[in-house]
Chain A
Amino acid sequence: MLPETRHENPDWLDALRETGAEVFAATGLPTPANEDWKYSSLRKYEKEGFQISDIIGEIDTNDLPKKLLDKRIVFVNGFFQPRLSDQVEGLKAVSLLDWLSNEPEAVQENLVDVGNLSDMPLKAENTAHIRDGVALVLDAGVHIEKPIEILYLSTTKGVEVKPKYYLRNLFVLHDGAHLNVLENYQGQGTYAVNHVCDIALHENAEFKHYRLQNEDKNAYHFCHTRLMHHARSSYETVTCTRGACFSRHDIQSLLIGAEVSCNINGLYMLNGVQHFDTKILADHMEPNGVSKQLYKGILDDETRAVFQGKVHVRRPAQGTDGRQLSHAVLLSTAAEIDAKPELEIYADDVQCAHGATSGALDEDPLFYMQSRGIPKDQARRLLLGSFLSEVIEDIDCAAIQSIFQAQIDDWLLSHQGAL
């Protein structure tokens, strides 16, 4: 189901798609020669030969994974499924297509500012194929405190080619709005999915944004998030990465207002031949912003993780507090971690720090626990579990915290033999 068939297609949207297509045709897929992609090669992805697909097989509630929270919004193969989704009070729109048919001007306002696409080839590609996606829009002052689950299910059911799906997601929180969301990425088969997520946080808005990436182990997952932070807004995100053979997450947080708070955290648990790449930019443009990044992960087998974080403090952004931490535990001799925590600072009255560590699990606490009668397997699990839990410690929503904790426990248990 293409938007063309469902709605009048506004000219500006066609033009936007065209721009995306032109830029992507010029740039092509990024290669490691591109500094942003220094540690990640898309050659394997290219060889897979993914093709755009519009087919949504027959999916009913039984095909869906277990509901994690009370309210759930469901997307299958890139398109909103009202039939499978719950109603949520307080939302102006749920999907991009709906919002487009109701308030095309508002969509335009939030969609056209795409940034410099030639620096973001995959976002350009997504822009060329804007179809559907999440569009959660909260009017000023609306508070939705109870977390909402958004399930993105990708299947190859009934699809003959190796499919490629595009989602264009928008979260718009007007002045003083509050939202709490858990995005759950799931799927079966060999597919590729390209998410672009634009978030606008107006003054005093507060967005708690959690992500659970549990794609099929044969899937390719790309996600590009761009965040516009207006004055005194606050953002907190935790991404838990377990799935996909290749995943790349770009987060651009633009702190265009003063006194904003931005926490970007993540944990990852990789095994097999998984490759996981995160690139984060916190761009402080106004005074007294606080940005924190904490990424922790464990790598087994032949996996590779990449963390490229950057805190950019521009001249007017006095009083900035920027922190960045990346910690990784390597469980296998063939695993690899590459970190590039970067600071670019042009203001003097700032506090900025970063740290990066990597290595094997510390033997001393392991020995200590064994000497107290805890079997080695269990001791390792406990240590790794507590190592990862730091990332979810500060989540104040108990439901979300327990979902993440369950993911950690589950991964550690299922890798008991390997540990």
Chain B
Amino acid sequence: MSNRFAQETLDTVKNLEKYDAGFVTDIEMEKAPKGLNEDIIRFISAKKKEPEWLLEERLKAYKHWQDMPEPNWAKLKIDPIDYNDAYYYAAPKRDEDKPETLDDVDPKILETYEKLGIPLKEQEILAGVKTRKVAVDAVFDSVSVATTFREELKKAGVVFCSISEAVQEYPDMVKKYLGSVVPMTDNKHACLNAAVFTDGTFVYIPKGVRCPMELSTYFRINEANTGQFERTLIIADEGSYVSYLEGCTAPMRDENQLHAAVVELIALDDAEIKYSTVQNWYPGDENGKGGIYNFVTKRGICKGKNSKISWTQVETGSAITWKYPSCILAGENSVGEFYSVAITNNYQQADTGTKMIHLGKNTKSRIIAKGISAGKSDSTYRGLVRISPKAVGARNYTQCDSLLIGDQCGAHTVPYIENKNMSAVVEHEATTSKISEDQLFYCQQRGISEEDAVALIVNGFCREVMQHLPMEFAVEAQKLVGISLEGSVG
């Protein structure tokens, strides 16, 4: 829902720019018919006034996609997806369908918002309440915020815009890097994204610039569509640094849909990209009904020497998570990091992990993955560490720990370790256990309720990952841990 809202807002913002006082204009937009075919793709491309080459790429991807098999190697039970039963160019939700006031919104959703500390007005926006007034207020707020950002970023020379804008304004850069890290042939979901991606983020950090603030989709949500098929491209030029936050604090609470995003990161010489995600899409209800299919392809390449890419993710939402943020360590002395917490409850399934492909000399990677399963859920860590023959002096350390809460869930670890270089040192360790009775008893004995105690212990278990999150996220993520595990004990 929020993406539709976001699109709506984006259009409002655009209108605002065009017409000084035109912000009340009805912005009901056109929508493409249901289904997926070449015409839809042409429609999307035309809507976005894309250049010919991009349309051709999209069509090529679509053609390829039709013959591609669904990836079925993950430990996931996925109901067949009807690709034709979806809108690929989403229109904002019609007013009549929206809840009249917050009272019409599912109280459970509001409860969650409250716990996350989202202010009331934002709650209304997130829940998609009809009242235009509120939305406009919010837009006003966001506009001011967005503008301040833009000014400041512009001063630093940072490009931070939607990918559609980037296609128009920086076509050379987009053409050069789009699909260079995740080619359309990579997997079926990435291929679908290449064919139908609607929007996303484009970031370019120029040489030697340390981005003055953390860039975030949370701030940008009112500025661009972060829809089902978003595409993110981040380029950090020589010696630059950027921290990017991707927050799904706007949980899409009433939808059951496929979310197939692609994220590409490119770090040139001495550049560093820190990419953090807190994912809290709708996980489905206690009986496993509904929820988001989160099939995301994220990959970064450390192209230049001494470059660094660091992924941090807290995955608590989605009915099914299929996600492997990876690093290709091509540059000499480049560093890849992956810190992950994946929490599953009820009937959620998560198959997540990373790939560290060591190509350059003295490349280093570090993987810390924590999986917590509760209820009837399954969570799998699946990772690959590959040391190529040229990666002299490569180093990898992997640690994955799983915690089981209750005897109806599953926790699995599937690491692939391929070492083709004698000078490389590769270490992997993993453990699986349950919450220690002693710790639980100790907490309860001191007056902490069982549920709080579990949240506390789990947060301690995840600490190594949480401390890599930017501050704004860390607080929220800690609360999310507690919320996600609600009802898993007692």
Contact = CB atoms under 8 A, between A and B. Distances in A.
Partners in one complex: yes
A359 interface: yes
A419 interface: no
Interface in B409-436: 409-434
Interface of A: 35, 39, 315, 318, 328, 330-360
A315 B430 contact: no
A154 to B, nearest CB: 32
A360 B427 CA distance: 12
B407 interface: yes
20 contacts: A336-B420, A337-B418, A339-B417, A341-B413, A341-B415, A342-B414, A343-B402, A343-B412, A343-B432, A344-B410, A345-B402, A345-B410, A346-B409, A348-B409, A349-B407, A352-B431, A356-B415, A356-B426, A358-B425, A359-B426
Given A348-B404, A348-B407, A353 B432 contact: yes
B389 interface: yes
B406 interface: yes
B332 to A, nearest CB: 18
Interface of B: 73, 75, 389, 402, 404-434
Given A315-B407, A348-B407, A359 B425 contact: yes
A132 to B, nearest CB: 39
A332 B412 contact: no
B422 to A, nearest CB: 4
Contacts, number: 117
Contacts of B407: 315, 318, 347-349
Contacts of A355: 427-430
B427 A343 contact: no
A356 B417 contact: yes
A338 B426 CA distance: 11
A350 B413 CA distance: 14
Which 6 pairs show the lowest CB-CB distances between chains A and B?
A330-B422, A348-B404, A359-B425, A352-B432, A343-B413, A348-B434
Given A345-B404, A348-B407, A357-B427, A340 B417 contact: yes
Nearest to A329: B422
A295 to B, nearest CB: 13
Tell me if B's interface is mostly helix, strand, loop or mixed. Answer: strand
Contacts of B416: 338-340
B433 A350 contact: yes
A326 to B, nearest CB: 8
Contacts of A333: 389, 421-423
B428 A360 contact: no
Contacts of A336: 418-420
Contact of B433 (A337, A351, A359): A351
Contact of A350 (B422, B423, B432): B432
A342 B412 CA distance: 7
Given A338-B417, A339-B417, A345-B404, A358 B434 contact: no
A363 B95 CA distance: 71
Given A344-B410, A349-B434, A354 B429 contact: yes
Contacts of A330: 419, 421-422
A242 to B, nearest CB: 20
Given A345-B402, A348-B434, A353-B432, A340 B420 contact: no
Contacts of A340: 414-417
Nearest to B384: A340
A318 B424 CA distance: 38
Contacts of A357: 425-428
Contact of B73 (A35, A338, A346, A348): A35
A239 to B, nearest CB: 21
Nearest to B430: A354
A358 B419 contact: yes
Contacts of A332: 422
Contact of A345 (B73, B411, B419): B411
Nearest to B386: A338
Nearest to A341: B415
